[in-house]
Amino acid sequence: MAKCVDLTAETFEQFTAQPLVLVDFWMPGCAPCRMVEPILNELAAEYDGKIAIGGLDTSAHMEVAMKYGVMSVPTLVIFKSGQEAERSVGAKSKAVLAAWIDKYL
């Protein structure tokens, strides 16, 4: 069963180079981030093989967050072949996130 991949500054570029990726920029202690995490793990399992889902701790890898202009968490970004396609800021329901992903499938 797939779940979100823990990303680092070292693995970020290679991970986002895949055909379709969703990255959760999060931070420890962020209540909305904790709400989104189990939803993203469920979606990672349900969409296994269609989209890769990963999370980046912005407090540990601030340079990546700064590079992508992440100003608040959670920020969710869909990448297509390494390029940002769309972003969403704030916690969202599973239904909203699934519909968002479906736009890119």
**Nearest Cα to 5, choosing from 27, 24, 28?**
24
At residue 70, the pLDDT reads 97
- The CATH code belonging to domain 5-102 is 3.40.30.10
Query: Which one of 2, 5, 27, 30 is the catalytic residue?
Result: 30
- Residue-wise pLDDT tens digits, 46-105: 999 999 999 999 999 999 999 999 999 999 999 999 999 999 999 999 999 999 999 999
Extents of the domains making up the chain: 5-102
4 among known catalytic residues? no
pLDDT tens sequence across 12-43: 999 999 999 999 999 999 999 999 999 999 99
pLDDT for 100: 97
Q: Give the 3-state secondary structure of residue 13.
A: helix
Question: Residues 4, 23, 33, 97: which is the catalytic one?
Answer: 33
pTM of this structure:
0.95
